């Protein structure tokens, strides 16, 4: 599958930097980052693409330091992930109930002796992978018109992320905690609440399990 190219001038890559252009034609120049877990995440992305179906083109995946709290974006064939944003989500997930979470991670990996540091690294990769899955959900909606039980665009992408995880045998409980952490509770929120995001993800995960 060929890789997507920018068609609408919304983004392009030059000199190791991602240039993003907003609706007001203002540009942001963001250095593209290579980091230790990148190979694992690109492999996971390839698996997601395999589940996604016949996309018109494979979205370009890049990693940058920050997307100002957005976590990730999908824009005209591009998926970008902010690693600092992912670390902030990791902290929120970790703060919930770390002892239970570490136990879950040890059970999922089969490593009963896994250290806290190793568990944190595992969770960071899991957070970034879920951000990628969510943004790929937007790509599938844009390129394939994929329908979901949710009218809200963000919840629909969460549902698709759950489908991608369920089809690949990823742990539902860890995913649920991550999507709960990215929910918004402020009165001015334009994105779903923690409960709505977790519910949409779990619904997608269960759908994948039922139709496997």
What's the confidence (pLDDT) of residue 188?
79
CB 12 within 8 A of CB 24: no
* pTM score of the predicted model: 0.96
What's the confidence (pLDDT) of residue 1?
86
What's the confidence (pLDDT) of residue 190?
81
CB 154 within 8 A of CB 133: no
Chain centroid to CA 193: how far?
17
What's the confidence (pLDDT) of residue 83?
97
What's the confidence (pLDDT) of residue 126?
98
CB 132 within 8 A of CB 85: no
N- to C-terminal Cα distance for the chain? 24
CB 78 within 8 A of CB 91: no
CB 156 within 8 A of CB 150: yes
- Hey, is 57 helix, strand or coil? coil
**Closest alpha carbon to 60 in 151, 118, 139:** 139
Pairing of strands 17-21, 27-31: antiparallel
pLDDT along the chain (212 residues), means of 10: 84 94 88 95 97 92 95 95 97 90 96 96 98 97 93 97 97 97 85 95 96 79
């Amino acid at each position: 599958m060929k890789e997507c190219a920018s068609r609408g001038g919304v983004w392009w890559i030059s000199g190791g930097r991602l240039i993003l252009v907003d609706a007001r034609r203002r540009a942001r120049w963001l250095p593209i980052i290579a980091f230790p877990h990148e190979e694992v995440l690109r492999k996971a992305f390839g698996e997601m693409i395999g589940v996604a179906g016949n996309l018109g083109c494979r979205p370009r995946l890049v990693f940058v330091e920050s997307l100002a709290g957005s976590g990730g974006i999908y824009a005209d064939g591009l998926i970008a992930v902010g690693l600092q944003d992912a670390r902030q989500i990791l902290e929120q997930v970790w703060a919930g109930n770390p002892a239970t979470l570490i136990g879950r991670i040890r059970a999922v990996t089969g490593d009963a002796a896994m250290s806290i540091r190793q568990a944190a690294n595992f969770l960071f990769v899991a957070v970034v992978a879920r951000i990628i899955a969510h943004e790929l959900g937007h790509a599938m909606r844009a390129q394939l018109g994929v329908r979901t039980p949710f009218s809200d665009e963000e919840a629909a992408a969460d549902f698709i992320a759950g489908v991608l995880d369920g089809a690949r045998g990823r742990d539902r409980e860890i995913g649920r905690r991550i999507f709960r952490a990215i929910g918004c509770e402020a009165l001015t929120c334009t994105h779903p609440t923690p409960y709505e995001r977790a519910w949409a993800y779990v619904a997608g995960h269960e759908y994948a399990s039922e139709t496997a």
